[in-house]
Amino acid sequence: MKPVKVGICGLGTVGGGTFNVLKRNAEEISRRAGRSIVVEAIGARRENPDCDTKGTHITADIFEVARNPEIDVVVELIGGYDIALELVLTAIEHGKHVVTANKALIAVHGNEIFEAAQKKNVMVAFEASVAGGIPIIKAIREGLSANKINWLAGIINGTGNFILTEMRDKGRDFADVLAEAQALGYAEADPTFDVEGIDAAHKLTILASLAFGIPLQFEKAYTEGISMITAEDVQYAEELGYRIKHLGISRRTENGVELRVHPTMIPEKALLANVHGVMNAVLVDGDAVGQTMYYGAGAGAEPTASAVVADIVDVVRTLTADRDNRVPHLAFQPGSLSETPVLPVEDVISAYYLRLNVNERPGVLAMVTSILSESGISIDAIVQKETHEDQVPVIILTQEVQEKQMDEAIAKIEALDDVNEPVTRIRVEHL
Amino acid sequence: MKPVKVGICGLGTVGGGTFNVLKRNAEEISRRAGRSIVVEAIGARRENPDCDTKGTHITADIFEVARNPEIDVVVELIGGYDIALELVLTAIEHGKHVVTANKALIAVHGNEIFEAAQKKNVMVAFEASVAGGIPIIKAIREGLSANKINWLAGIINGTGNFILTEMRDKGRDFADVLAEAQALGYAEADPTFDVEGIDAAHKLTILASLAFGIPLQFEKAYTEGISMITAEDVQYAEELGYRIKHLGISRRTENGVELRVHPTMIPEKALLANVHGVMNAVLVDGDAVGQTMYYGAGAGAEPTASAVVADIVDVVRTLTADRDNRVPHLAFQPGSLSETPVLPVEDVISAYYLRLNVNERPGVLAMVTSILSESGISIDAIVQKETHEDQVPVIILTQEVQEKQMDEAIAKIEALDDVNEPVTRIRVEHL
């Protein structure tokens, strides 16, 4: 079957990431999608130094891509409102499926775009428009479709969360952290969209429509940023057992749907209170499922590309498969499963916690540590606990070692006269 | 369009939950699915006291349901291996689509079932088989399809996590907590599947196949339970900055795929270390997206039903929509959007944090609190901070109040001679 041909418009951060992910993971992606995906053309005014685009047609005219008769899917990654809208409508008009990461476009012009897409029977996908790589749109639109959703609340702007996290961790002021975020590239030169909550309101508008089945109404969202939060507020909140997070909240009430973005004090033990730095998370409360949460990187080249490419795969699967086999049972096409063996546990590498009960006699610890050393196992920490009925619990944390080496060492340790019980071992992982 | 007819086999916890969710949320679900969903028949040996099944045909012969020519989708919720397998294969043979929550069945007989389904061109969906209501299968199979997945690790057995959480929180012993879990209904009378890790290994087997594209190989999973973990281990781990969690871990290595379930010590700050009680969570590391996490209830009647019904909706959408409109853009069918208005922010109800800078003069606090009281705003806490250049920061936490009442109160407070700056307000939510 011939490849699906994609045109990427915009080769900035996300466009570059999308190009690179499609290229690097081409083999795995085609095993999942059931068909190869090829970037047929790129519409961009300049090259991206992170991309090796040799062999791919590049044009400065993005509309040439949208009209290119060879192209099946147009990926809009130029951002902004007007030209993006014109581009997407042109692509739809020419019968292309569209994938976009543009939250502003969807929040403000989505209703119009979806109507046009339905008339022309093409797909428009926008997973990357909210919370970057977290598949939150799919979760709400499909995964939670059984539920009457009560409310959702999310940290959906990474820049704002980075600033608030730094203010809390280091007692710094807003302006100070913002300047650093700009230097690090986390915040735009004009940070208004991020710090005044507009970006979050775009995303919340989209999530609320998915959750409550209302048309997109960005103009009705209440939007308040974080620029008025002081280091003192952060500290006082902390003293009261709270943290300040910039949240988008949408809740179903008797009189209407709340749609609001603002700094919010939440209990320090709340899951959302523990989402730090540039990470995003969305908490959704449904009447059947209760609370579920979705966490991950909300921005950045490849996390956002992850969602863009997932949308492309969705489109390709729909174009390619029989109706009843759109998504393969095991994610990969049945004929494309891998022969990679399952690793026997003896070959697994892991660090270990060991607990031994030894008799209180000189020299026992020396014997144990020399067995470990002879087996090539390095010790990270060793702690002798209080003696209890002439026995001493000894705790050992090891560095990483292959399980079979550990099996041998433990057998030797258990054979020692002064080691009294089977050794307890618990694997240690630094996830 | 006539309704899609569903047959539910098994009316225990999950079967009852599925019946109730389909009934209670029928209107919203059909607006999402594009078509009504009707329970045509139930196969169950006894009634479920939580379900009002009046008017629904109930038969003790589940195979009657699987063969019923009226039925489009057979929902297998009887659990176990052999009869469930026969039931599912019978349903497939009769051209029914199948939805199941049965992790044991899929982990052990999935390869065979999927092959049969493809031959008959029917769908087999099993989102509920892993992590209950969390749409983790959809996330990995579709949401992360751009990624080469490096590893995944999950708390995928609620009973085990409940026991370990209790052991840590209360310093209790394994046997003691297990007995309580059984009394509470969190653990089965025969707890082997849960506490020896078999249930988690079934789920991990499924996740690993989705992540790495390998056939289901439950028999190769390394499985170790939590029954050997002592209260001392939990405490020693804590002292070293770790927590013990029962994890399923699958990782791609050069020599093969790790597939292992065992107690694991992880740093106390790790996200998974902070998933408590019966909750589940799965952390997935992909090469493009980085780490994403999915959190929610992994068991229980309605959380599991949430996933079962989402699968039914997926099937119904596929049967009903045009190819390019399978999932509506805004989750609900375009003609079924709701007119529910967006609530003006003045009508939103929320608790508040207020920060005032007042002159150090007797009587100021009294004036402020009486304004709040006259506006019908109750105070939860009031804290006066240290004087700074003759000004005193005052922090007030209020109970819930409508925003417009708070607007009025703040206007009056700001009008006081001894209140010096605009009042800072931050909304407080107990998420």
Output phi, psi for A70, to 5 deg: -75, -20
All residues at 6 or more sequence positions from A264 whose CB lies less than 8 Å from its CB, including other chains:
A153, A244, A245, A246, A247, A249, B426, B427, B428, B429
d(C-alpha A132, C-alpha A147), whole Å: 24
> Measured in Å, how far apart are chain B's first and last C-alpha atoms?
41
B306 in the same domain as B287: no
Of B313, B336, B359, the one marking the end of a domain is B336
Quick: pLDDT tens for A348-375: 999 999 999 999 888 999 999 999 999 9
Which tokens in the block code for residue A136?
A: 């939150």
State yes or no: pLDDT of B188 exceeds 80.
no
Nearest CA in chain A to B113: A329
A242 in the same domain as A187: yes
CATH number at residue A331: 3.40.50.720
Q: What average pLDDT score do residues B216-226 get?
A: 97
**Angstroms from B346 CA to nearest CA on chain A:** 10
Give CA angle at B33 (B27, B34), nearest 5°: 85
Which pLDDT score is estimated for A188?
A: 78
State yes or no: pLDDT of B389 exceeds 90.
no
Q: Per-residue DSSP letters for A63-102?
A: HHHHH-TT-SEEEE-S-SSHHHHHHHHHHHHTT-EEEE--
Active site residue B203: yes
Q: What percent of chain B has pLDDT over 90?
A: 93
All residues at 6 or more sequence positions from A194 whose CB lies less than 8 Å from its CB, including other chains:
A157, A159, A160, A187, A188
Residues in chain B closer than 8 A to A306 (CB atoms): 144, 146-147, 286, 288-289
Token pair 């969570």 in the structure block, residue: B281
Q: What average pLDDT score do residues A283-307 get?
A: 97
- The response to whether B103 counts as a known ligand-binding position is yes
Question: What's the per-residue H, E or C state across B219-271?
Answer: HHCEECCCCCCCHHHHHHHHHCCEEEEEEEEEEECCCCEEEEEEEEEEECCCH
Nearest CA in chain B to A221: B342
- The response to whether B10 counts as a known ligand-binding position is yes
**Sign of the dihedral defined by the CA atoms of residues B307, B313, B318, B321, in that order:** negative
A39 in the same domain as A141: no
Known binding residues of A for NADPH are 103
Q: What average pLDDT score do residues B413-423 get?
A: 94
Print burial letters for B62-85: b (CB count within 10 Å at least 16), e (below 16).
Answer: bbebbbbeebbbbbbbbbeeeebb
B240 in the same domain as B192: yes
State yes or no: pLDDT of B209 exceeds 90.
yes
Give kind and range of the element (H or E) at residue B126: none
**Angstroms from B145 CA to nearest CA on chain A:** 5
Which pLDDT score is estimated for A389?
A: 83
**Mean residue pLDDT across chain B:** 96
CATH number at residue A166: 3.30.360.10
Quick: pLDDT tens for A138-181: 999 999 999 999 999 999 999 999 999 999 999 999 999 999 98
A183 in the same domain as A35: no
Which pLDDT score is estimated for A404?
A: 97
A103-120 and A82-93 helices, crossing angle to 10°: 20
d(C-alpha A100, C-alpha A110), whole Å: 11
Q: Residue B367 in contact with residue B416, Cβ under 8 Å?
A: yes
Which pLDDT score is estimated for A187?
A: 78
All residues at 6 or more sequence positions from A258 whose CB lies less than 8 Å from its CB, including other chains:
A151, A249, A250, A251, B342, B343, B348
The number of domains in chain A is 3
Considering only the beta carbons, identify the residue of A124, A135, A428 that sits closest to B329.
Answer: A124
> Cα A72 vs. chain centroid, distance in angstroms?
27
Q: Residue B213 in contact with residue A338, Cβ under 8 Å?
A: yes
d(C-alpha A25, C-alpha A28), whole Å: 6
State yes or no: pLDDT of B356 exceeds 90.
yes
Residues in chain B closer than 8 A to A139 (CB atoms): 135, 138-139, 143
d(C-alpha B263, C-alpha A346), whole Å: 16
Question: Is B400 in the A-facing interface, judged by CB distances under 8 Å?
Answer: no
A312 in the same domain as A271: no
Q: What average pLDDT score do residues A269-288 get?
A: 95
B117 in the same domain as B31: yes
Of A288, A314, A336, the one marking the end of a domain is A336
* pLDDT interval class at B189 (50, 70, 90): confident
A111 in the same domain as A185: no
Q: Which amino acid, one-letter code, is at A77?
A: L
Token pair 């907590």 in the structure block, residue: B177
Question: Is A268 in the B-facing interface, judged by CB distances under 8 Å?
Answer: no
Half-sphere exposure of B181 (CA within 13 A, CB side): 27
d(C-alpha A118, C-alpha A103), whole Å: 20
Residues in chain B closer than 8 A to A135 (CB atoms): 138-139, 142-144, 292
User: ipTM of the predicted structure?
Assistant: 0.96
β-strands B73-76, B57-59 pairing: unpaired
Print burial letters for B228-267: b (CB count within 10 Å at least 16), e (below 16).
Answer: ebebbbbebbeebebbbbbbbbbbbeeebbbbbbbbbbbe
Quick: pLDDT tens for B121-132: 999 999 999 999
B284 in the same domain as B311: no
Which segments of A143-231 are extended strands (E)? 149-155, 222-223
Q: What average pLDDT score do residues B292-315 get?
A: 97
Which pLDDT score is estimated for B302?
A: 97
Of B285, B313, B336, the one marking the end of a domain is B336
d(C-alpha A234, C-alpha A173), whole Å: 10
β-strands A97-100, A124-125 pairing: parallel
* pLDDT interval class at A345 (50, 70, 90): very high
Which pLDDT score is estimated for B246?
A: 98
Pairs across A and B, CB distance < 8 A = 430
B119 in the same domain as B76: yes
β-partners of residue A153 are A249, A283
Residues 38-77 of A with CB under 8 A from B: none
- The response to whether B51 counts as a known ligand-binding position is no
Which tokens in the block code for residue B369?
A: 């609190």
Interface test with B, best of A124, A315, A429 (most B CBs within 10 A): A429
Q: What average pLDDT score do residues B17-23 get?
A: 98
* pLDDT interval class at B39 (50, 70, 90): very high
**Mean residue pLDDT across chain A:** 96
Residues in chain B closer than 8 A to A313 (CB atoms): 142, 145-146
Residues A331, B118: C-beta atoms closer than 8 Å: no
Which pLDDT score is estimated for A119?
A: 96
Residues B145, A310: C-beta atoms closer than 8 Å: yes
A318 in the same domain as A288: no
d(C-alpha A68, C-alpha A387), whole Å: 79
Q: What average pLDDT score do residues B301-327 get?
A: 96
CATH number at residue B371: 3.30.70.260
β-partners of residue B419 are B358
State yes or no: pLDDT of A330 exceeds 80.
yes
State yes or no: pLDDT of B186 exceeds 90.
no
- The response to whether B9 counts as a known ligand-binding position is yes
Q: Residue B35 in contact with residue B94, Cβ under 8 Å?
A: no
Q: What average pLDDT score do residues B132-139 get?
A: 97
Quick: pLDDT tens for A22-38: 999 999 999 999 999 99
Question: What's the domain range around B55?
Answer: 4-132+302-336
β-partners of residue A395 are A355, A383
Q: What percent of chain A has pLDDT over 70?
A: 100
- Considering the candidates B96, B138, B203, B245, report the single residue annotated as catalytic: B203
Interface test with B, best of A32, A343, A386 (most B CBs within 10 A): A343
- The response to whether B16 counts as a known ligand-binding position is yes
Q: Length of chain B, please?
A: 431
Number of neighbouring beta carbons within 10 Å of residue B61: 11
Interface test with A, best of B343, B346, B347, B407 (most A CBs within 10 A): B343
B227 in the same domain as B140: yes
Nearest CA in chain B to A114: B329
Alpha carbon distances (Å) from B106 to A337, A422, B71: 17, 36, 22
